[in-house]
Structure 1
């Protein structure tokens, strides 16, 4: 029997806790015996109030003496990105997690793992909204911003909320095999392998120019005219710079090539049109892609799914063929 511990702080998101626990509990049902013993770990023995206001009691606390967990997961909490972490919690994670067979986080729980020094030199993911914050806090970590969940040695991290279920299902597959994991997914009516990555769900917000003024002028022009010729040579000519010099300062200022930025901005803008119900072929023309196939490939690079799937999933539209 494997002991699974989930550390739940005040303000934790309920689904970050209950979702993985239900996956493990369903595995127990499907396998016919108690393969997993499940524990919620609290900071104290007082009721934990979740982000939704629901209250529940922990099974044990960080002050209790207990046998080591097989797996320890740190649940996320919306407030974690704006708070100072208690040294007591950070120290506890740093002591307990390395003694587990595997350990990890769900959503913003990665910030606590990072504060404990357990992400250094590791591949990791977290919720798209705190990727930059985690990168600043843990420069030695290799962050995969689009992944739903990541495995690196004993470390397991999930992007957040429903991705915690994906992570738990992958742990069941590791422990109990493919067939049982598929039975669990079927019973819980969830994807066994969810298509795409988390960037399809991210809201990057208003497109804002960045960098020095000559670069910002070009960015503003393209945002206003996304269907115009945006090859690097053309943009350089509009800026009055040579193509080589323009590409160099653009990469220095924004950390990416002009071509990559153009594709990213066009896809960001295209997403809004698809969500409004426009067809992929219309959107491809409106944002300067030479044909639907080029648009489809670019969209898939940025989001992990096709424009038609994105339109169905986020546009509230009936299923349509990809035209």
Structure 2
């Protein structure tokens, strides 16, 4: 064990969600790779030596007794309903979690792992989140807590809770940035082809996914994809109607009925969504982001962005980087 490396203990149990473990673990492993030294040591611990994830991957874990000071990080992944319930009903498991979580410098839950923290009495009075499908159950379990419904991750003191699955990667990137610097987190994100610095306040369901859920047929999906591929182009509603081989009036009605957005509003929202992603890379000038996202100039971009997010692009970037 390296004296200087932070010790990360990931608490596994039968049927855990693999991405909840593998996503954050890869972020920390990449940090070691980028720095050329071990700054994080990962320990996969469980009540039993051998167990399987929900997807059937067999892993060999260290015993719970391995978990000892310094307990820099304790991660608790989520699972589907049946294995999660089974874990929550094992008194010894919950008692161990309650005891050791109190000693952790940083306690993290990924996805529905927050329900295990709740069962252990660790979330009372905290600001917390979880996977969107677990939020109502979490609120019932923690009536004195503030459950934030539209966040990727939430930090309250030494507690970090995340929406789960891929949001666990976003949370781990934020932790690396906290422990080291944002430049390191950016390199890791690029290596993993992840969105860099998706703000914890961003909604759990991205705009493209939300739009795809609302789209009633492939023609609307085709329009959305075409607009995403041509964000910098001066596309007006007439050009959209030509692309869809319909009239402007019909296109407007079609978008309003299915997406609750006008065609112009749809294009603007897609541009601003891409701008948020690009703002996560501080090396990209705001003027360049404005151009790549189809705004006439930085001023027009700043006005549109501020109207949508109540922050200027520069303020949004400063919030991402903790400046």
TM-score (norm 2): 0.65
1:273 counterpart residue number: 215
- Note the residue ranges of structure 1 that are not aligned, 5 or more in a row: 204-266, 310-320
CA RMSD of aligned residues (A): 3.2
For structure 2, list consecutive stretches of 5 or more residues without a partner in the other structure.
225-251, 278-293, 295-323
Does residue 120 of structure 1 match 2:124?
yes
Q: CA deviation at 1:284?
A: 3.6
Which of 199, 203, 218 pairs up with 1:197? 203
Shift of 1:288: 9.7
Judging changes above 3 Å, is the alpha-carbon distance between structure 1 residues 277 and 143 closer, same or farther for their aligned structure 2 residues? farther
* Cα distance in 1, alignment partners of residues 265 and 26 from structure 2: 42
Describe the shift of the 1:23–1:287 C-alpha distance in structure 2 as closer, same or farther (beyond 3 A): closer
Offset from partner CA, 1:90-148 (integer Å, 9 cap, x none): 11111111211110200110000011111111111111111111111111121112211
Displacement of 1:292: 4.6
Whole-angstrom distance in 1 between the partners of 2:181 and 2:147: 28
Matches within 5 A, 1:1-323: 1-45=5-49, 47-58=50-61, 60-64=62-66, 66-78=68-80, 79-80=82-83, 82-83=85-86, 84-194=88-198, 196-200=202-206, 271-273=213-215, 276-278=218-220, 279=223, 281-286=252-257, 291-292=262-263
Residue 271 to residue 119, structure 1, CA distance change in 2 (3 Å): same
The answer to whether the Cα contact below 8 Å between 1:149 and 1:156 also exists between their aligned partners in 2 is yes
Residue-by-residue CA offset, 1:228-277 (whole Å, 9 max, x unaligned): xxxxxxxxxxxxxxxxxxxxxxxxxxxxxxxxxxxxxxx89x94326644
Residues 199-228 of structure 1 deviation map (CA, whole Å, 9 limit, x = unaligned): 34899xxxxxxxxxxxxxxxxxxxxxxxxx
**Alignment-derived partner of residue 251 in structure 1:** none
Contact 1:9 1:77 in 2 (8 A): no
Structure 2 distance, partners of 1:77, 1:21, is 17
- Structure 2 residue matching 1:151: 3-state secondary structure: strand
What is the number of equivalent residue pairs in this alignment?
Answer: 240
> Structure 2 vs 1, CA of residues 139 and 27 (structure 1 numbering), >3 Å: closer, same or farther?
same
